Structure 1
Amino acid sequence: MSRHVLISGATGFVGRFIAEHFLARGDRVTAMGRTPPVPGFFSAPVVFVEGGLDPARDFSSVFAGVDAFVHAAFDHVAGKYRGGEGDDAAGFRRRNLDGSVALFQAAKTAGVARVVFLSTRAVYGTQAAGAMLQEDMVPQPDTLYGAVKLLGEQALAKLSDEALCGASLRVTGVYGPAGHGRAHKWQTLFDDYLAGRPVASRVATEVHGADVAAAVALMLDAPADAVCGQVFNVSDLVVDHRDLLGRVRALMGVERPLPERADAAALNVMATERLRSLGWRPGGADALDAFVRAVVRGLLAR
């Protein structure tokens, strides 16, 4: 059965993956954002509605006829999430918390059955070095970004009932191909390495954008009692710059030195058993290899 899915932030990096997933399923997609997508940005036609994160706005007309709402929009200083408030912490909180809650309430008033909120691993904040991040542990956000996302999760859970089923996804770093004319997350890293510029050691958790989209779809398809009012970690791989660039070096046939391996002992890896119990199966190393190969093909074709 096809749905009418409204996606805020659909033209963003992660939002595009979500929109494409639902388009591929044959769902009707409406993209909400501040500016319309350029022609050809999506693989199939979508309806665009203008809408920012304004808690004073009446969103009732936006939600008319919508079956599910995916809230992927976030207003921040370009290129920053942590520290994305810049010098306007009050405005950042008003837009991203009050604006999000206004959207959740408008969706419920309009009779939208399911709402999915894209949250972040930043809600966990400072945890013991090396501790596994479990959804039921006490969050300790150490940034305004993480604190605002946590409050958004809590607001959606409070609104969830028999009429509206809301779920939040705590997403780690996301990689994958960017939209036309845009840079993927590791483009500067790859360019620096291939140009012989210094590259810092780093290790982090990552997930492909297509796997985030699959997790979103599960929140709409799963039985209500399995997801309503719940939070789910979304993470797949531990990726070290040394291993990532080692793939690039092998495929490009270059002999430039690799950065030192980062110390992963203190890394907080995210447990994903709760999401996997619903049938979520991320792409793992195969997805990462396919992405790097596609990037390298593009570099070699220049």
Structure 2
Amino acid sequence: MSRVLVSGGSGYVGRFVVEHLLAHGHEVTVGGRSPPPAGFFSEDVRVVPLVLDPNLNQVDAFKDIDHFVHAAFSHLPGKYRSGEGDDPAGFRRANLDGSVRLFETARRAGIRHCIFLSSRAVYGPQPPGVVLSEEMQPQPDTLYGQVKLEVERHLLALDDDAYIATSLRVTGVYGPAGPGRSHKWQSLFDDYRAGRPVPVRAGTEVHGDDVAAAVRLMLEADPAGVSSKIFNVSDVLVDTRAILAIVQGATGCPHPLPEAADLTAFNPMTTEKIRTIGWMPGGESRLRAVVTDLVASR
């Protein structure tokens, strides 16, 4: 059993990581600005203060920890791209400088492995239909993507025999949001069922538990296979029509579905690299089951 600190463990993606690691026998500590509400996790977890501030020495958070999963990110509520609002300097200071300070602190504290949850946004715009692979040249066009890429590079520069550094480029994440919170498609479902206009949009998605499984795989893999490496984490390419077709089938909603998006123009992500070391996401069957459950839980 390893001892894992998860920054941002109370966040949307971080909660999946915490729950998955707990279920697989790891001892988890959650780092964040404030403790989660009672009952937020399936079992009690240790919580330590941890913030994205490059001026703070937060070495105490890493006491008795083996691995560090960095899932925290500071942004305007509900926004990632354009999450800097009117304070791009503060956004960079927290998410770039603050993250680098945590990585350096973890290294000095003797942490063996640091995993950073990066984003597909580092790739930026690519020609229509081009598959996004870890070997291609990133060209982020948002501050969010630029900062994620810079954080990746700073972390990988710290990698050595005693400190394993790995980055996971994660696509859009779906799944239940946890007690008292709405999942990311709730407003889409509500608009469709109320007969309001819904967008024609496509995207790559992965279930939060599959992201967490990728994190666990990094922790349990042979260090030589994941040290100083970047892995794409993505599963299905889907549009709003396909998602809402599941909702329609589950509810019998009579409203027409939106037009289909042009999936051939979208940039899917290859995941061959992470699949070769054992990652197996749930695919379309998991998407269908989860959307059906989300509708029923509402």
Given the two structures, how large is their TM-score scaled by the length of structure 2? Answer: 0.99
In the aligned structure 1, how far is the partner of 2:60 from the partner of 2:70?
17
2:18 aligns to what SS in structure 1? helix
What pairs up with 1:117-196 in 2 under 5 angstroms?
Answer: 117-196=116-195
1:61 aligns to what SS in structure 2? helix
Match of 1:97 in 2: 96
In the aligned structure 2, how far is the partner of 1:44 from the partner of 1:262?
41
Match of 1:82 in 2: 81
1:272 is the counterpart of 2:296: no
Match of 1:210 in 2: 209
2:60 aligns to what SS in structure 1? coil
Paired AA for residue 106 in structure 1: T
In the aligned structure 1, how far is the partner of 2:243 from the partner of 2:60?
46
2:225 aligns to what SS in structure 1? helix
Q: How many correspondences in the alignment?
A: 298
In the aligned structure 1, how far is the partner of 2:63 from the partner of 2:295?
44
- Structure 1's unaligned 5+ residue stretches are none
2:249 aligns to what SS in structure 1? helix
- Structure 2's unaligned 5+ residue stretches are none
Paired AA for residue 190 in structure 1: F
Shift of the alpha carbon at 1:298? Answer: 2.0
Runs of 4 or more above 6 Å deviation:
none
1:246 aligns to what SS in structure 2? helix
Paired AA for residue 87 in structure 2: D
Match of 1:257 in 2: 256
Question: Could you give the per-residue CA deviations for residues 204-263 of structure 1, whole angstroms, max 9, x where no partner exists?
Answer: 100000000000011111111111111100000011111111111111012210000011
In the aligned structure 2, how far is the partner of 1:296 from the partner of 1:187?
9
In the aligned structure 1, how far is the partner of 2:253 from the partner of 2:137?
46
Shift of the alpha carbon at 1:51? Answer: 1.5
In the aligned structure 1, how far is the partner of 2:11 from the partner of 2:59?
23
Match of 1:246 in 2: 245
Paired AA for residue 70 in structure 1: V
1:289 is the counterpart of 2:288: yes
Paired AA for residue 206 in structure 2: V
1:54 is the counterpart of 2:40: no
Shift of the alpha carbon at 1:296? Answer: 2.2
Paired AA for residue 161 in structure 1: D
Question: Could you give the per-residue CA deviations for residues 260-302 of structure 1, whole angstroms, max 9, x where no partner exists?
Answer: 0011121010000000001000001121111112122223xxx
In the aligned structure 1, how far is the partner of 2:57 from the partner of 2:114?
18
In the aligned structure 2, how far is the partner of 1:48 from the partner of 1:34?
10
Match of 1:73 in 2: 72
Shift of the alpha carbon at 1:6? Answer: 0.2
Identity value in percent: 57
In the aligned structure 2, how far is the partner of 1:251 from the partner of 1:88?
43
Match of 2:10 in 1: 11
Match of 1:41 in 2: 40
In the aligned structure 1, how far is the partner of 2:49 from the partner of 2:285?
37
Question: Could you give the per-residue CA deviations for residues 174-223 of structure 1, whole angstroms, max 9, x where no partner exists?
Answer: 00011101010100000000000011111110000000000001111111
Match of 2:19 in 1: 20
In the aligned structure 2, how far is the partner of 1:114 from the partner of 1:10?
17
Match of 1:235 in 2: 234
Paired AA for residue 208 in structure 1: H
1:212 aligns to what SS in structure 2? helix
In the aligned structure 2, how far is the partner of 1:176 from the partner of 1:222?
26
Shift of the alpha carbon at 1:65? Answer: 1.1
Paired AA for residue 93 in structure 1: R
Question: Could you give the per-residue CA deviations for residues 84-113 of structure 1, whole angstroms, max 9, x where no partner exists?
Answer: 111111110010000000000011001100
Paired AA for residue 272 in structure 2: E
In the aligned structure 1, how far is the partner of 2:285 from the partner of 2:131?
24
In the aligned structure 1, how far is the partner of 2:219 from the partner of 2:25?
14
Paired AA for residue 39 in structure 1: A
Given the two structures, how large is their TM-score scaled by the length of structure 1? Answer: 0.97
Match of 2:218 in 1: 219
Question: Could you give the per-residue CA deviations for residues 113-155 of structure 1, whole angstroms, max 9, x where no partner exists?
Answer: 0110000000000111110001010000001100100011001
21-30 or 182-191, which deviates more: 21-30
